[in-house]
């Protein structure tokens, strides 16, 4: 089992040092610390285990260190900043692991950019040695790239000429969309194995600053201090420790403090039940929206990589909607509170992770549900949603859905739009109608009329209709479902983020399965053997 939980005391590949208002995050990959056997991670190359630690560090810096306004990403390897994804790992890994590795790595890079854009925690890359492939893609996620001018340090994206694959963590998109590198220069850059260094790297916008070796360390620190001085993060507020999750994992599913996952292997479904708060708001690590976000995040990642044959996620909730509403107000009306802002931003990233996961998502709204405010976004994030009309038993209250200000802006999708704007793309009247019900408690008929749920059913039809729908879904090709869902989930304008995930889902997914990359005579298998890859020369 691949576990996404870690903490700095367990890091094997990163060194985190906090010297307020700056943090140093240095890559120091243990060559023998691979997540699986069969490969050595030389030259600061990395696998999913390295990125799990990086994601943890980025998250902890946001929550545990509000006093940090700038983070310097560096390397403790003098000759190589980072050689990118480990080639031996990619050659040996099964296709799903390769794709999930790229997806998680992209999400981690996006979280760095989100911290810079929304949390006032700017990232600076201090590049000494060669930053190649995924190493340069990590650099591209930062705000400011500083390259030492020593005559040998360089940046490179050599995947096409060396490996027969693409820079799979957004490198191509960030080159032209984020750094505005001219497409002809980007074409040259991506086909030069040895990369580009010095003045040309600066001229082509591949880096932001070229610094002599003699002043590199002090100049990097000066830039970080400048960035930290511009932050709105509190300098004296105590951080919130991200304590270990309390969870039980067995063959039947997963159990957390505010969430449970029930796995039906025969039906290839996992029912994810969100449990509402058990008391009024309390700050700190026990703050229910933060606790729930961490647990749901962990469950999603577990299902992605450890339960590959579970094709459908059924989202349900149970709890007191009135208590949910009290927490929701704190996230929507943050009043300059850095901690509430971070929790809301975490929910934004988490909902995006739901939408980037290659699983069908079905949301069920039933009596006893608590889909209100930010939890109601799960309904809008799902591929389909069904609501039970009336009650199941005497004495039950009817199911209700309540949208709040959480649906009006603070939790945008990857396309930059709210889920309501995306749902009613090109339908101004539908959007106006849905927006007009914000703040109202909607029963099944009203929620359906507002276009918030796919269908409503009474108790007589509920179980049979859902069973037929789920059985039908399980009979479709998983590959075609992944492609269909990825194309349907993001109407509206393209952003750098939707391009990255769209290209990963389509192009890298395809390339990884082709013999030119992964076949016995393909580039991944023959890399380092001295033999040239034998390519199928037909263009498709």
Band of residue 191 on the pLDDT scale cut at 50, 70, 90: very high
Tell me the C-alpha distance between 90 and 524, whole Å: 7
> CA 436, 439, 441, 447 torsion: positive or negative?
positive
Please give the average per-residue pLDDT across 194-201, as a whole number.
97
Instruction: Write out 203-239 in H/E/C secondary structure.
Output: HCCCCCEEEEHHHHHHHHHHHHHHHHHCCCCCCCCCC
pLDDT in the model for residue 395: 66
- Chain position carrying tokens 């560096």: 74
CATH numbers and ranges of domains, the chain: 8-229 (3.90.226.10), 248-478 (3.90.226.10)
pLDDT tens track for 363-394? 999 999 999 999 999 999 999 999 999 988 76
Nearest to 381 by CA among 303, 453, 463, 311: 453
**The tokens of 44 are what?**
């600061």
H helices present in 356-458, as ranges? 377-381, 419-423, 428-436, 444-449
Q: What are phi and psi of 272, to 5 degrees?
A: -100, 110
pLDDT tens track for 106-120? 999 999 999 999 999
Please give the average per-residue pLDDT across 484-513, as a whole number.
92
pLDDT tens track for 406-435? 999 999 999 999 999 999 999 999 999 999
Tell me the C-alpha distance between 355 and 415, whole Å: 11
Q: Report CA-CA distances (Å) from 185 to 149, 172, 197.
A: 21, 12, 14
How would you classify the pairing of strands 253-255 and 248-250? antiparallel
Please give the average per-residue pLDDT across 100-110, as a whole number.
96
Instruction: Write out 36-105 in H/E/C secondary structure.
Output: CCCCCCCCCEECHHHHHHHHHHHHHHHHHCCCCCEEEEEECCCCEEECEECHHHHHHCCHHHHHHHHHHH
Phi-psi label, residue 195: left if phi above 0, alpha if psi -120 to 50, beta otherwise: left
How would you classify the pairing of strands 122-127 and 70-75? parallel
Tell me the C-alpha distance between 123 and 115, whole Å: 8
Give the list of residues 6+ apart from residue 332 with CB closer than 8 angstroms, or none. 344, 373, 374, 404, 405, 406, 410
Please give the average per-residue pLDDT across 352-364, as a whole number.
97
Query: Does 103 have pLDDT greater than 70?
Result: yes
pLDDT tens track for 231-254? 999 999 999 999 999 999 999 999
Cβ pair 492, 415 in contact under 8 A: yes
Tell me the C-alpha distance between 504 and 158, whole Å: 17
pLDDT tens track for 4-39? 999 999 999 999 999 999 999 999 999 999 999 999
pLDDT tens track for 435-475? 999 999 999 999 999 999 999 999 999 999 999 999 999 99
> Is the N-terminal amide bond of 138 cis, ω within 30° of 0?
no
């Amino acid at each position: 089992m691949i576990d996404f939980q870690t903490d700095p005391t367990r890091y094997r590949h990163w060194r985190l040092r906090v010297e307020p208002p700056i943090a140093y995050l240095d890559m120091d990959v243990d060559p023998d610390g691979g997540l699986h056997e069969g490969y050595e991670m030389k030259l600061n190359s990395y696998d999913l285990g390295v990125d799990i630690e990086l994601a943890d560090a980025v998250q902890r810096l946001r929550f545990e260190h509000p006093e940090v306004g700038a983070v310097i990403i560096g390397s403790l390897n003098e000759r190589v900043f980072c050689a990118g994804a480990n080639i031996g790992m990619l050659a040996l890994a099964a296709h799903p692991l390769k794709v999930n590795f790229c997806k998680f790595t992209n999400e981690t890079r996006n979280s760095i950019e989100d911290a810079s854009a929304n949390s006032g925690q700017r990232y600076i890359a201090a590049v000494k040695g060669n930053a190649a492939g995924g190493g340069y893609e990590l650099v591209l996620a930062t705000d400011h790239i500083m390259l030492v001018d020593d005559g040998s340090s360089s940046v490179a994206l050599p995947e096409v000429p060396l490996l027969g694959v693409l820079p799979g963590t957004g490198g191509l998109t960030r080159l032209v969309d984020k750094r505005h590198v001219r497409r002809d220069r980007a074409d040259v850059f991506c086909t030069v194995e040895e990369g580009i260094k010095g003045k040309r790297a600066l001229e082509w916008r591949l880096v932001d600053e070229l610094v002599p070796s003699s002043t590199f360390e002090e100049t990097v620190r000066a830039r970080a201090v400048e960035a930290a001085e511009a932050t709105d993060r509190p300098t004296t507020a105590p951080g919130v420790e991200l304590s270990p999750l309390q969870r039980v994992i067995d063959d039947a599913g997963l159990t957390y403090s505010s969430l449970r996952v029930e796995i039906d292997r025969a039906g290839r479904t996992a029912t994810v039940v969100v449990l509402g708060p058990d008391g009024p708001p309390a700050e700190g690590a026990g703050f229910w929206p933060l606790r729930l976000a961490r647990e749901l995040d962990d469950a999603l990642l577990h299902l992605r990589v450890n339960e590959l044959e579970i094709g459908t996620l059924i989202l349900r909730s149970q709890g007191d909607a009135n208590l949910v509403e009290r927490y929701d107000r704190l996230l929507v009306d943050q009043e300059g509170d850095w901690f509430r802002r971070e929790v809301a931003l975490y929910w934004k990233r988490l909902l995006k992770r739901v939408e980037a996961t290659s699983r069908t998502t079905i949301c069920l709204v039933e009596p006893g549900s608590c889909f209100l405010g930010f939890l109601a976004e799960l309904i809008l994030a799902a591929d389909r949603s069904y609501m039970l009309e009336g009650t199941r038993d005497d004495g039950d209250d009817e199911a209700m859905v309540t949208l709040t200000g959480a649906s009006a802006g603070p939790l945008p999708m990857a396309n930059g739009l709210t889920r309501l704007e995306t749902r009613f793309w090109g339908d101004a009247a539908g959007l106006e109608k849905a927006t007009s019900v914000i703040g109202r408690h909607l029963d099944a008929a009203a929620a359906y009329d507002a276009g918030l749920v796919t269908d409503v059913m009474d108790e007589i039809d509920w179980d049979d209709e859902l069973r037929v729908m789920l059985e039908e879904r399980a009979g479709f090709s998983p590959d075609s479902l992944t492609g269909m869902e990825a194309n349907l989930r993001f109407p509206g304008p393209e952003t750098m983020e939707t391009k990255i995930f769209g290209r990963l889902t389509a192009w890298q997914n395809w390339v990884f399965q082709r013999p030119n990359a992964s076949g016995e005579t393909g580039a991944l298998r023959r890399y380092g053997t001295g033999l040239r890859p034998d390519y199928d020369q037909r263009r498709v």
